[in-house]
Structure 1
Amino acid sequence: MAFPSSLSLFLFFLSSLLSPSTLISSSPVPDPERVVEEVHRSINASIARRELGYLSCGSGNPIDDCWRCDPNWDKNRQRLADCAIGFGKNAIGGRDGKIYVVTDSGDYDVVNPKPGTLRHAVIQDEPLWIIFARDMVIKLKEELIMNSFKTIDGRGASVHIAGGPCITVQFVTNIIIHGINIHDCKQGGNTYVRDSPGHYGWRTISDGDGVSIFGGSHVWVDHCSLSNCHDGLVDAIHGSTAITISNNYMTHHDKVMLLGHSDTYTQDKNMQVTIAFNHFGEGLVQRMPRCRHGYFHVVNNDYTHWEMYAIGGSADPTINSQGNRFAAPNDRFSKEVTKHEDAPESEWKNWNWRSEGDLMVNGAFFTASGAGASSSYAKASSLGARPSSLVGTITMGAGSLSCRKGSRC
């Protein structure tokens, strides 16, 4: 993550006073368990419809069943914004704006972007729903610094952001990133980059994340395929919150997902993230995710590969793992799903980490702690996760999709 200069931060603060994003609350949900229950209700409803045959194309995945059955999805693209679940469900992106068609895969000038390029689209002040005229491989010269109320929608084309710095969501709100292949992301920085029509600033060296969320809120990353980046595939730090990461296919990477800046950065206590219906696949090592301070709902994901551990954390995060499938590696020393980090057992035994309805395969085991380790918690949970046996069906379409106009996606 590239840290902005003090001048850039000051100018951003002044501009934000007049920005529509200041009207959007990024304060934490007072009762995160209610959001968890909403997620379960939506999953249960989708599966019930599927079992009754109401949706011949229904998968039991409530996000997908919201839009993929529509053969005219390309004429109703912005309907997608109403399909999110979890903590990021209010991310509307560019739903209320115009369609912007990217026609040029180039990234010629990061201070004065050329109209028709992705960089020109994402920095605009007004809400925009950004789509692509054709298949593209976009190699960015520097981080793609997004402005608020934007959707990047790759449906109908094969769009790769690869081989250079990738996407940065910094101090902005209402972002949807959907249907993009994001891989081989590199570091950038030590140069000026424009982040809005009226401002550009100096960027220090970036981390080289696939999607970097820094002080961002109401962010939804859905149906992307991510792999092989310099640092994280999706990282969220510095007070980011109201995030849903769903239906993504992640492969070939070490430190997959960092949620929380540091053990001492207590502003991340407000972080609330839903991680749903993702496939954590081959070549992954650790951090799926690694959490600090906040509340993390990990539901109906398919973990088919890890080398060290799947879910870890430090600094007393709440981790609510429900209805996931965890297939442990053959290495007998790496069977544990969880890793309580940077604290003695006398401390981490009080952290609230719980597993409900998870399917443990090949010797996998989850070390619960805090309230999650008590039998009274299981009895008090009135609304259980959908059976983990359905995870394969729910996550079958994880990653970027091959959608054709005029037919169901």
Structure 2
Amino acid sequence: MAEVNKNVVPLLFFLSFAVIIPTLHAHIAEFDDYWKLRAEQARKDALEAYHPQPEEITNNFNSHVNKDLIGNNSTRRQLRKYKGPCLATNPIDRCWRCDPNWHNNRKKLANCVLGFGYKTVGGKYGRYYVVTDSSDDDMVNPKPGTLRYAVIQPQPLWIIFARSMVIRLNQELIMTGDKTIDARGANVRIAHGAGITIQFVKNVIIHNLHIHDIVVGSGGTIRDAIDHIGFRTMSDGDGISIFGASNIWIDHVSMSNCRDGLIDAIMGSTAITISNCHFTHHNEVMLFGASDSYSGDQLMQITVAFNHFGRGLVQRMPRCRWGFVHVVNNDYTHWLMYAIGGSSHPTIISQGNRFIAPPNLAAKEVTKRDYAGESEWKNWVWRSQGDLMMNGAFFVQSGSPLKKKPFSRRQLIKAKRGTYVGRLTRFSGTIACKRGKPC
């Protein structure tokens, strides 16, 4: 992608945001004064979260990974359930996981995020809120003790769960900012109903949830804040929808089988890290960027790290438009069509991933470019550095290497390459944490 003047980007973002939002406002049937103010604040937050030199974040991330790998030679993924002592195999997990007192120090998690979402603190500066009721019966006046009641509160909250539960959302769960949903210590499933919507807010952490079998919500009157009730159209059936939001961290989430995407990040969303997740049984896994015509997504900066893309996946891991996406140390063990795709000249830096191609000879290519001929996409910056290609997998690179802030040999972890991915992603997905014991 051609370098864009950092003073021009906010202007382009403002113009495209102002033009597009009135017609594409993510199931808001009435874009009233409340949502106009929320959208305007979200635009300001996104501009503040945008990093004009994204290579600095990728360099910083790689330095952290390299420090954790020095002196460790394990390269195999252990497929059997691990029953040994706590192992924190990547720098995010090493920050918190092996502390037996984690349940009394839950908010330490907020210090552990790396990548573009590194400033995300969620509900760190708020009180704890305990979800005691798995029901979701009243969309207008949610019951205290329910997850829906917790996420619409105006103040920062660190939301935890009294016990294991299955929550079937009758309509999309519309969150306010400065919230952490922390399901450690319980088996919590968002399933067989609508998904989670993070729209025009900032500062959200979602951790250790199962999200699966998400369906389309019919829409209707829904309370989206303590002091506002709005009318929504049908939701798409995304597991997690990030819309015009910034400073978002999704970590140790297990996701499968949603009606639309597992995770979408669109319409000016930025400063996002998706880490340590396990994705299975889905077609269009992740979409970054709303449309080829929405240039506001050139502010999008997303880190995808330490995730396992597993059984039953087809494509979009992720599919990117515009923006800058750092795909680092993920394990791609299954896809049917392709792994990483895109259009509208996104910058995609793929580092230290393991790509295991399917048997189909027509699906060996990791990458897929849409709506552009080679004369155009050859200038898109899609670089593969230290990736491990297996079973005939190949990554078609394009564009020039990033020269402004070149990666050092140590930052690229070239000596280790993708062979370390089995270890780095060994504990992806939800973790069975017990009080008094390391996770």
Instruction: Return the TM-score normalized by structure 1.
Output: 0.94
Structure 1 match to 2:294: 265
> Does the alignment pair 1:38 with 2:60?
yes
Moved more, 283-292 or 25-34: 25-34
Write the distance in 2 (CA, Å) between the matches of 1:247 and 1:148: 22
Please state whether the residue corresponding to 2:149 is helix, strand or coil.
helix
The residue aligned with 1:401 is 431
Alignment pair present for 1:188 and 2:217: yes
In the alignment, which residue of structure 1 is the partner of 2:306?
A: 277
Q: CA deviation at 1:378?
A: 12
From 82, 96, 102, the counterpart of 1:67: 96
Query: 2:109 matched to 1:77?
Result: no
Q: Matched residues in 1 for 2:72 and 2:227: separation?
A: 49
Tell me how far apart the structure 2 counterparts of residues 83 and 138 of structure 1 sit (CA, whole Å): 27
The structure with higher relative contact order (CA 8 Å, sep 6+) is 2
Q: Measure the CA separation in 2 of the matches of 1:379 and 1:300.
A: 20
- What secondary structure sits across from 1:309 in the alignment? coil
Of the three residues 50, 66, 69, the one matched with 1:28 is 50
1:406–1:20 Cα change, 3 Å: farther
Give the C-alpha shift of residue 14 in structure 1: 3.5
In the alignment, structure 1 residue 4 sits paired with structure 2 residue 28: yes
Alignment of 1:194-343 (within 5 A): 194-343=223-372
In structure 2, do the counterparts of structure 1 residues 179 and 379 end up closer, same or farther at CA, with 3 Å as the change threshold? closer
Q: Which amino acid aligns with 2:148?
A: R
Equivalence for 2:143: 114
RMSD: 2.1
1:129 counterpart SS class:
strand
Residue of structure 2 in register with 1:384 after alignment: 412
Asked if the contact 1:91/1:176 (under 8 Å) is kept, the reply is yes
Alignment of 1:137-156 (within 5 A): 137-156=166-185
Displacement after TM superposition at 1:41 (Å): 1.2
Count of residue pairs the alignment pairs up: 400
Q: CA deviation at 1:69?
A: 1.1
Partners of 2:39 and 2:200 within 8 A in 1: no
Query: Is residue 2:350 matched to residue 1:350?
Result: no
Q: Distance in 2 between matches of 1:45 and 1:178?
A: 24
Given the alignment, which residue of 176, 180, 186 partners 1:157?
A: 186
- How far apart, in 1, do the equivalents of 2:138 and 2:267 lie? 29
Give the drift of 1:195: 1.0
* Equivalent in 123, 148, 155 of residue 94 of structure 1: 123
In structure 2, stretches of 5+ residues that fail to align are: 1-24, 74-84
**Structure 1: tracts of 5 or more residues without a match:** none
Q: Aligned partners of 1:252 and 1:124: how far apart in 2? A: 34
AA at the equivalent of 1:392: G
**Counterparts in 2 of 1:50 and 1:251: CA distance versus 1, 3 Å:** same
On the 8 A contact 2:128/2:160 being kept in 1, the answer is yes
Partner secondary structure for residue 134 of structure 1 = coil
Q: Does 1:13 align with 2:36?
A: yes
Find the aligned partners of 1:306 and 1:3 in 2 and give their Cα distance: 31
Tell me the CA shift for residue 11 of structure 1.
Answer: 1.4
Classify the secondary structure of the residue corresponding to 1:381.
coil
Give yes or no for contact 1:185–1:230 (8 Å, CA) kept in 2.
Answer: yes
Question: What is the deviation of 1:15?
Answer: 5.9
State the 1:42 CA deviation.
1.1
Equivalent position SS for 2:160: strand
CA distance in 1, matches of 2:265, 2:39: 20
Alpha-carbon distance between aligned partners in 1 of 2:392 and 2:403, rounded to the nearest angstrom: 24
Cα distance change of structure 1 residues 25 and 124 upon mapping to structure 2, 3 Å threshold: farther
Displacement after TM superposition at 1:387 (Å): 2.3
CA contact (8 A) 2:338 2:363 kept: yes
Instruction: Tell me how far apart the structure 2 counterparts of residues 21 and 115 of structure 1 sit (CA, whole Å).
Output: 31
Kept in 2: contact 1:2–1:189 (CA 8 A):
no
Measure the CA separation in 2 of the matches of 1:109 and 1:156. 27
Using the alignment, how far apart are the partners of 2:250 and 2:71 within structure 1? 25
* Alignment partners' CA distance in 1, 2:37 and 2:302: 28
CA distance in structure 2 between the partners assigned to 1:206 and 1:38 by the alignment: 37
Distance 1:74 1:225 in 2: 21
Give distance in 2, aligned partners of 1:70 and 1:123.
Answer: 31
Q: TM-score w.r.t. structure 2 length?
A: 0.87
Distance 1:122 1:143, change over 3 A: same
